[in-house]
Structure 1
Amino acid sequence: MLKIIGIDHVVFRTTKLDAMLHFYCDVLGCKIERDKRSDNGLVQLRAGTALIDLVMVDSDLGRLGGRPPKQDGRNVDHVCLQLEAIAQDRLTQYLDSHQINYSNFALRYGAVGLTESIYIEDPEQNVIELKPVLA
């Protein structure tokens, strides 16, 4: 039997690579692990123990996936990222400082059980759930 221990990677197709890199690296703190833009249009970001792959839709690799992402044709519903313990007001103040809109906190079930989380969107309107672990 397989035992899932975390998210390995998520792939987002993008037409806004610079904005996506700013969002994931500068706002959320990911680091570029592999940059294959010149080879196949892929940039891989380290997100804790997981990777977030960004694929430019106008690259060779990106064209294999079809048309660019649109609101009526999402290729991902949402991705949930576990965060280290942080007070809700500190998290919302941080998001406000980066002009990131967010939902209200709500109790939701996830990998660590029933905890509060919020939703935000990246520059391609992919929905990202932020779930701080309990202190």
Structure 2
Amino acid sequence: MNDNVVGIGHTAYTTDKMADMLNFYCDILGFEHAFSLNDKEGKPWIEYIRVAGCQFIELFYAKEGFEPKQGGAYSHLCIEVKDLMAMDKHLKANNIEVYWGPQQGMDKNWQCWAKDPNGNPIEFMQIDLESPHAKAAGLTGK
């Protein structure tokens, strides 16, 4: 493992639904709108959402040549949670469709899946102490 790597710094999405995306990530999921950046002409360019510590989601405003990606190489964003059942209930209470789960995956972690307003898949995952993730991170002592 590269001990110079601290963690995932950010994941980035281009959107033509900025208000919906900010509502989803900030109001529904409870992440913090950290700051905004404007482009060289002073127009809105990126909204930064702080997930935890120095981990962010970057939301780029759609513009010509910078359209939202549908499909492509992106797979999904995984957000680790402490209580998956509480997250599942919270998503559903906010009319967010949970299209898979909650259930235990092959890796023994608990997960459920939803999509943001642009259709990007998001895995919400609760680490199980018997999972290979917990063992690799030294959470089990095994």
Structure 1 unaligned segments of length 5 or more: list them.
Answer: none
CA displacement 1:8-44 (0-9 Å, x = unmatched): 1000110100000000000111111121144551111
The 3 A distance-change label for structure 1 pair 5 and 105 is: farther
One-letter amino acid matched to 1:105: P
In the superposition, the TM-score normalised over structure 1's length comes to 0.78
One-letter amino acid matched to 1:28: L
In the superposition, the TM-score normalised over structure 2's length comes to 0.74
1:68 aligned counterpart, secondary structure: coil
In structure 2, how many angstroms separate the alpha carbons of the residues matched to 1:45 and 1:16? 15
Structure with the largest fraction of helix: 1
The 3 A distance-change label for structure 1 pair 75 and 13 is: farther
Instruction: Among all aligned residue pairs of Structure 1 and Structure 2, give the percentage whose two residues are the same amino acid.
Output: 23
In structure 1, how many angstroms separate the alpha carbons of the residues matched to 2:126 and 2:76? 16
In structure 1, how many angstroms separate the alpha carbons of the residues matched to 2:74 and 2:109? 22
Alignment of 1:44-55 (within 5 A): 44-49=48-53, 50-55=55-60
In structure 2, how many angstroms separate the alpha carbons of the residues matched to 1:117 and 1:5? 24
Match of 1:104 in 2: 101
Relative contact order, higher structure (CA 8 A, sep 6+)? 1
